[in-house]
Amino acid sequence: MQQTLLFFFLAFLSEIAGTVGGFGSSIFFVPLAQFFFDFKMVLGITAMLHVFSNAAKLVFFREHFSWRLVLVIGTPSVLLVIVGAYLSDVINVKYAEVILASFCILFSIFFLWKPDFKIAPSIVNGASGGAIAGFIAGLVGTGGAIRAICLSAFALEKNVFVATSAAIDFGVDFSRSFIYFYKGYMNASSWLYVPGLFAIAFAGSYVGKKILNKVSQENFKRIVLLFVLITGVALLIKTFSG
């Protein structure tokens, strides 16, 4: 019981942080959940949590969307997440985790060092970033940091950032959840966590939105990059210590 409560508490904190950061809870939740479950079950549970959490964000941030970016970044993300999910039990996941962690660390440090540097907000860059984020999400369970960096290039207002990211992520997680279920990543005990994950998704998104309303645009960008950096370091440590 204590382990279950700790798991739900960490999931709740991950959901709050993911909402404030704008790139979803999985970048925090996936490394933490692997202390409780095996990797394949973590992928299945993460997909469920994210479907719920992104549905919550679509409700709470329904007035703020950039539908152009949803199409430009979201379409390749959904297509490539299916490929990554199919390969999740073929490719050595540790290699993918090292790549993801290294990417998060290097890019977050660079953007904290050079805050005025901008990736060109082009369709090609948006689609390429969406494709990479989707593939990594399907493969290792989280690609939100890559999508956050990609979205940051378009200098979106914080609420638009969160809403657009959630809309893209909803399609990504809804698609990969079918692949994970088909591959049998969810066992009978996994479904017992569904009610708790549903409640946490909405509660964490609501609390995160309240916190986000009190954060300035400038501080919001720093928070996003710091979250990406911290999670990248944690994921790298976990990968090499596992």
CA pair distance 12, 138, nearest whole angstrom? 22
Amino acid at 83: V
CA pair distance 232, 178, nearest whole angstrom? 27
Residue with structure tokens 């370091």?
Answer: 233
Please give the structure tokens belonging to residue 94.
């540790």
Ordered DSSP codes for 98-156: HHHHHHHHHHHHHHHHSTT------HHHHHHHHHHHHHHHHHHS--HHHHHHHHHTT--
CA pair distance 29, 171, nearest whole angstrom? 19
Kindly compute the dihedral angle of the four CA atoms of residues 218, 222, 227, 228, in this order, to the nearest 10 degrees.
110
pLDDT in tens, the chain (242 residues): 678 888 888 888 888 877 776 666 777 777 777 778 777 788 888 888 888 888 888 887 777 778 888 888 889 999 999 998 888 877 776 777 777 678 778 877 887 887 776 667 778 888 888 898 889 888 877 777 778 778 877 878 878 888 888 888 888 888 888 888 888 887 767 777 888 888 988 888 888 888 877 877 677 777 777 877 887 787 788 777 75
